[in-house]
Structure 1
C-alpha cells in the first residue's frame, strides 16, 4: 500500500512539474496564416536581436534563444501570426 501511495504521489508531482514548465500556446491559427520564418527572423535581426537558436514549437510559437538589443540573454516565444511576444525570459 505504502509504495503505491508514493508512486501515485510521484506521478502527480511529475505532471504538475511538466505543466509548470510547458511552452505557452501562441496561436491556434493554421500555418498558412503564419509569417514566413526567414522574414520573421530578419525582422528580429533588424530590431537588434542576435539569434543563437530559432525554432517552431509544438504549441504554435516561434521561439528564439539569443540576445535582445540591450545585450541581455533572452528566451522569447512569439505569436507567428502577429509577431507579438507571448512569453519572455531574460537572464
Structure 2
C-alpha cells in the first residue's frame, strides 16, 4: 500500500507534469508574441489559449486547419514546434 501512495505522489509532482524546456535564450531574442500568433492563424490555427510556459515555450491550445484539437509547445526563438498533442 505504501508503494502505491509513493507512486501517486511522484506522478502528481509538478516535475512529472512539467512541459518541455524550449529555450535558454534571453527574451530579447524571442519572436513577438502577437506576430507569432498572427503567423499561426495565417497557417490555419484557431488559438483558444496562448501562454508562455515555465519551460520558456510559447504554448497554444486550440484547433489546426483540419479542426483537430491541438496543444503545441513552440520554441519562441525559432518558432518550431517542440512538442505536439493532436486529437483526431
- TM tier, shorter chain? 0.7 to 0.9
Where does the alignment leave 5 or more consecutive residues of structure 1 unmatched? Answer: none
Which structure's CA Rg is the greater one?
A: 1
**Range 49-58 or range 10-19, more displaced:** 10-19
1:75 paired residue number = 71
Q: Deviations over 1:26-64 (max 9, x none)?
A: 111110110000000000000000000000001100000
2:61 paired residue number = 65
* Segments ≥4 residues shifted beyond 3 Å: 8-13, 16-20
Aligned partners of 2:86, 2:39: CA distance in 1, in Å? 20
Classify the secondary structure of the residue corresponding to 2:10.
helix
1:33 paired residue number = 29
1:15 positional shift: 2.8
Where does the alignment leave 5 or more consecutive residues of structure 2 unmatched? Answer: none
Aligned partners of 2:47, 2:81: CA distance in 1, in Å? 15
> Aligned pairs, how many?
86
